[in-house]
Amino acid sequence: MSKMESNKGKDEGSRGRGSKKVGKGGPRSGKFKPRSSDKSKGDSKNYQGFKKKKGTPLPKFSEDVRLNKFLSNAGICSRREADVLISTGVVSVNGEIVTEMGYKVKPTDNVKYDGISINPDTKRYVLLNKPKDFVVSMDDPWGRKTVMNLIVNACKERVFPVGRMGKDTTGLLLFTNDGDMEQKLTHPKFKASKIFHVTLDKNLEPEDLAKLTAGLYVDDAMFSAKDASFIKGKTNREVGIEIQSNKNNIVKLMFGKLGYEVVQIDRVQYAGLTKKDLPRGNYRHLTEKEVAFLKMS
C-alpha cells in the first residue's frame, strides 16, 4: 500500500493535483501523511470496488447532443419524458418537426418546444464545501434543509448534485447542469477518486488498516480502498482513506464490517478537486482549467 504523502504548496484547485492543510475540526485537505501502517500482502490490486461487466460507455464531450438530452439540459423535462414529447411531434428543429429518436442537434440549431424557442443553458460547475445536517436532494418531503439552499444564489441555471452524500457527511460536493460531466464522474470506468477524513468510535488496529486495501466483502461483493493510512499528528481513531467506488455509504460499510462505527466523515478531495480556500458552507465555481482537467482525465 503506497503512503499518502502531503503535497505542500501545490494548488490542486487549478492543476488537479495537490493538497493544503485546513483548520481545526477538519482534515488536512489532500492526501495524508501516515504515522504507521502495515502493508497488506494480499492481492488488493485485483479489486477496486467494481464488478467487471459491460455498461454504457464513457461520454464524449461533443458539441452535437441528442435532442432528448438537449431538452433535459434546458430544464424542460427528463430524458425519458423528452422522448415522449419528441414522439408526439411537439418539438421542432430549424422549423421542421422531429420525431426521430436519437436525433442530434448542433449548438446553432433553433429548437422549439410547443412553438417556443429553447435556449440551452450555459454549463455551470459549482463546488460546495458541505456542512452537516443538509440532505443531498433537490427537495425534501419532510422539510429538512437541502444542499440546494446553500447554492441558491450560485447561478440562474438549474444545477444538480453529482453523486450521493449522507446528511451528516461533510466536505466536497459538485453541482452541474452538464449531463455528460455528471455521467462521466459517476461512471464506474472513470473511477473518480474520493479522499475522506474518517473519525471512528475507537482506535483502528494496524491489521484492520491493512484489510481496507486488501479488500472486504460488503453485500456479497469485494470492495477495497485505493489507499488508507493513519493521519500524522492524530490518534488512531482518525484515518485517511481513498475510495473509487460509487456505492452508497461504502466507507461506513467497510469500517462497520471491521467492527468500527464512523463518528464523522469529511470528503476532503473529489476527482482531483480540493477544499483549498473554500470554508465550510461556502461554494465556488470551477475554473476553466479545472473543467478541462475533468473532461480530459
Domains of the chain, residue spans = 19-50+121-297, 65-106
pLDDT per position as a tens digit, 36-74: 444 444 444 444 444 444 556 655 555 688 898 888 777
Specify which residues 190 forms β-bridges with: none
Helix (H) or strand (E) holding 265: strand 262-270
Question: What are the cell numbers at 27?
Answer: 482534515
Overall average pLDDT of the 267-275 stretch: 96
Which amino acid is it at 174? L
pLDDT per position as a tens digit, 154-187: 988 889 999 999 999 999 999 998 888 898 998 8
Interatomic CA distance for residues 83 and 280, integer angstroms: 40
CATH number listed for the domain at residues 19-50+121-297: 3.30.2350.10
- Residue 6: pLDDT band (50, 70, 90) is very low
Tell me how far the alpha carbon of residue 229 is from its chain's centroid.
22
